[in-house]
Structure 1
Amino acid sequence: MPSPPDVIALLEGAEVLSRTRDLRDIFRTAAEHAMRFLEGSYGLLFAVRFTPPNLTVSLLGCCVSDGAETFWDDAYGGQPWLPVDPLLASCLEADFGHAISQEGDMWRLAFAVGALGQARWVLEIHGPVRPREAACQALSLFLRCFENQHQQWEYANLDTLTRLLNRKTFDDDFERLIAAAELAEQADKLPLERRTASHPQPCWLGVVDIDFFKKINDNFGHLFGDEVLLRVAELMRQSFRSNDKLFRFGGEEFVVMLRSVGEDDVRGIFDRFRLAVERHDFPQVGRVACSVGFARIDPRLSPADLLGRADEALYYSKRNGRNQVNGFDELVMSGKLRITAPASQALIQSDVDEIFL
């Protein structure tokens, strides 16, 4: 059995979780307390996605202990979706299940967070000692608190239809994006001999709009219009990385935040999503297309100015045939757009809103 001080520490962790409101802090708090409870050396927290017949995971962050303190680090770059290995698959075969294996002189433990078939996270902990079954059961109960707190966070921060982030969460996430963009700019200023393959890459803001969405609602009704929004949201989750921020801004407009993406790759990422929409067979409606505009995050500009730049690129896509991706900087360099004063952004947005109707 776990000793009383250990159990009390876990209960204290559950109490801290109940007061935590920021999503990253929810992940960090759960991982750090779990690591300390099992005296782990390091841990990994994965998001789980089941797209029949494939079960995949994506790294959200890692937790490392030096014996005295435990440190959490977000996977800021965003990780690809990868197949699960046998240990992770095994823990997902029961309600809040767990699985254990020995690898060399270390024990590897995996805990599913969620009911059978509905688990959305897996916490993996590596440590030098195999914990008792009672300790594993206690940690599984603690992870239910983590799941409950995350559900409360979702209720407050997700769009009720698409389950993407809602507009009111944009400002907080944008502040973090600005911070990441500043790190990328600092890295770009380093001499070439001091740069590494893992140095931060630029950050980007994209605006997505479903083409002729009003006609979809008029011709097929709002029920099928909502189905299109749901399918587009799911295609976004499948096309972008787990750590990319996806927002529904209202109506048929979506916003994407990308961290650490090279300038040569960003267009391809947005175009991959556009093609996924173009090729998807939507119930009753058939084929649907979307237009995309994106802009590089400049830490010197306000969120409104950067949204305005992405909107200008989106407006260009709409005006020049729709179903295409355009970047603000590329359009400026080619002379197709010019940088406008911030005061004109309201007029640009008005024009964009008018052409979407």
Structure 2
Amino acid sequence: MKTTKHPTFTGPLAGIKVVDLSKILAGPYATMSLADLGADVTKVEHPDGGDPTRSWGPPVEGTDATYYLAINRGKKSVTIDLKSVEGQEIVHRMLEEADVLVENFRPGSGLQRTFDYKVLSERYPKLVILHISAFGDHGPLRDEPGYDMIAQAAGGLMSLTGEPGGAPLKAGFAMGDLGASLFGIIGLLAALVERSRTGRGQYVTTSLYECQLALHVNWATNYFADGVRPGPLGSGHPNLVPYQAYQARDGYFVIAVGNDAMWQKLCAAIGRPDLGADASLLANNGRLANRERLNGELEKSLKAKTVAQWCGLFAERGVPASPIRSLDEVYAHPHTQALGMVQIADHPVIGDLKQVAFPVNFRGRRPEVRTAPPMLGADNDTVLPNYSPLPTA
């Protein structure tokens, strides 16, 4: 098996060593992001099949599903049986020089007890441990298993997604997993900053459930204020009108009116001065109260032109609007290309492998995709000899 090369890279997290004991999406996405930022990430996988997402296909490229290929670039892969004494000893040797440990062991599981954070914190006082779970380490749902869709359902997102009166829908993106990953990264980086002052690491925890609640934002405060159970609004907004998808002559597009001045610009652009002069629609609270009537009037007018015609006209008037692009259109768009959001990794089997790059720039430069997602155990020969268990006396 060809071993992936890992060239030197200077990034914000250069010199930070990460041991990744996580799998599926939330943990691996977090550790991939750390790798993008320059950290040295070693992914530990079970010898029998590795991370389950390697088989979450089709599509498959080379020997791995594209799901795995999407969230594991920039890492080294070693195969270790974490349930074996020898495997546990190897991981402990790795942790002796690590800065960060990321894991998503199920609360109360054998592996969580084996790698108990209290023991790890005492043994490696500088170690920052990020633990991601489905429902958190406390509460009546603590021991429940969970995937992304379970979090979207249990955490309220599916009650807000879809058309009014329609079947519940999950978000197209894995917002349960990805939300926990991003909040986990924030907590982990904050702990590293604190460690730079105190010299001590800490145990950082988050869960898919907690992060769903954190992302409710205005939905939650609306409910706290009026006590009314919110429901799905399709593409509509709970606090703004018009702010949703509308049908033009040849398809749908979105309009986002964020203030009363924009509303007047919209009315002028569509040739409806009557709507602009309607006293009941002058302010946003009135437009909210008259959502159905207002949308009905807009739908009559907007079918007169194409999506491209309306978007061009609104751009001239300063009214935010956009076509609803599919992924093929997004990745072919000149703006995506200008931002450099798609980069190429050199995979030992696939060859050129497209990757969506890290979405933050530093000093005007985007972190480069350093290496392709590793094949299972690709770095065993170069990494594991450095962490062999010490010989017994």
Q: Structure 2-normalised TM-score?
A: 0.27
Higher strand share: 1
Q: Structure 1-normalised TM-score?
A: 0.28
| More contact order relative to length (CA 8 Å, sep ≥ 6) | 2
Higher helix share: 1
